[in-house]
Amino acid sequence: MITQVLPATPEALQMAAELLAKGELVAFPTETVYGLGAHALNRDAVPGIFAAKGRPADNPLIVHIWRREQLTDLCYVNPLAEKLMDAFWPGPLTIILPRKHTVPDTVTAGLDTVAVRLPSHPVAYELLKTCNLPIAAPSANRSGKPSPTAARHVYEDMQGRIPLIIDGGDCQVGVESTVVDCTGERVCILRPGGVTRQMLEEVAGPVTVAGSVLRPLQEGEKALSPGMRYQHYAPNGQVSLVEGEEQDVVAALKLLCRQAEENGHRACVMCFTEHVEMLQHCHPHDIGSKDCPEEVAHRLFDTLRRLDEENMDVIFSEVVPPEGVGLAVMNRLGRAAAFRAIEAGEVLASGRIR
Ligand code: AMP
Ligand code: MG
């Protein structure tokens, strides 16, 4: 199959809408990451997403809409969810609600809930409006790879597997949507994203955060969001997080990188803009300013993909505080590193890698 990449003209969106109506797959930009869409109520179309991504069948999909009336076919809405929709839609918030049985089991992975989102990206909005169908769309990467934040990332992963990619430039947020469970009395964050805990609490009162957000699932622990079970966002090389006081971290990054190179590795660091110059001999990858977690979120997945392009096999990364959008960054970076963390002070004290 030939994969066309087209800019988001009205003609291209019309073509995309026709493909979707026929049950074909189309990748398109959203404000979070690129999505791989299929007609959510077409039982024959949805399995194509799992095949193209290599996604496990037990990981459910998010259904995208352009107006709330479409929810009537999908789920049962409650007052708490309405409050969140009023405050954060259109935008990077996915809401889990009790499903209706018009939604195929393949979309919900057999769960009795469905995930719904109304995106704010103008191209996503235009496409959803043009086809006027609910569109199931997970991130448009091959399963296990970092989510795509540019059309070229989608092409790398989906070339030959889907007929069309709509190119809408770089995604603004850069990490996937915040996923909240809204089936109980309290909002529970299953996956952190651009809509932060503080933002949710201002609207909906106390919010809980699923335990597995900043650590691996424990043995026997049930994943509230099935996607959290899988190793996500991982580049081919081994990523380690380096934590501690700023100056110690920079010194430890230098030491760790040099030692890894002496051991024959292709080593590099992921560091803040402010430290790039000090780390110029460590193949620095600039993840953005230490004072701007939004910038780090925006650049993270592109950086992780570059590490693979450059065949880096050992990577040491700075970390951001897990607050605000930083929680979403650390959720993704933690998984990229399989939660492997190194204390900078200890590295400097021992002068060797643990
Ligand atoms: P992706 O669109 O690839 O970012 O993945 C969608 C995420 O939403 C995955 O982590 C899913 O596990 C999660 N998700 C989708 N539907 C549900 C649901 N009904 N209950 C809990 N999590 C869900
Ligand atoms: Mg994904």
* pLDDT tier for residue 42 given thresholds of 50, 70 and 90: very high
Query: What token pair was written down for 131?
Result: 């086809």
Q: Which atom of ligand 1 is nearest to the CA of 141?
A: 3
> How far does the centroid of ligand 1 lie from the alpha carbon of residue 252, in Å?
37
Residues 6+ apart with CB under 8 A from 10: none
> What pLDDT, on a 0 to 100 scale, did the predictor assign at position 220?
75
| pLDDT-derived band at 323, boundaries 50, 70, 90 | very high
Q: How far apart are CA 94 and CA 25, in angstroms?
A: 21
Q: Which of 30, 62, 224 to mutate to test the pocket of ligand 1 (most atoms within 8 A of CB)?
A: 62
Ligand showing the shortest atom-to-Cα distance for residue 97: 1
Residue owning the nearest CA to atom 9 of ligand 1 = 227
> Whose Cα sits closest to atom 23 in ligand 1?
225
- Report CA(292)–ligand 2 centroid distance (Å): 24
Residue nearest to atom 11 of ligand 1 (CA): 227
Half-sphere exposure of 175 (CA within 13 A, CB side): 26
pTM: 0.94
> How remote is the CA of residue 323 from the centroid of ligand 1, in Å?
22
Name the percent of the chain lying above pLDDT 90.
90
Q: Is the CB of 59 under 6 A from ligand 1?
A: yes
User: 302 Cβ partners below 8 Å, 6+ apart?
Assistant: 149, 150, 153, 174
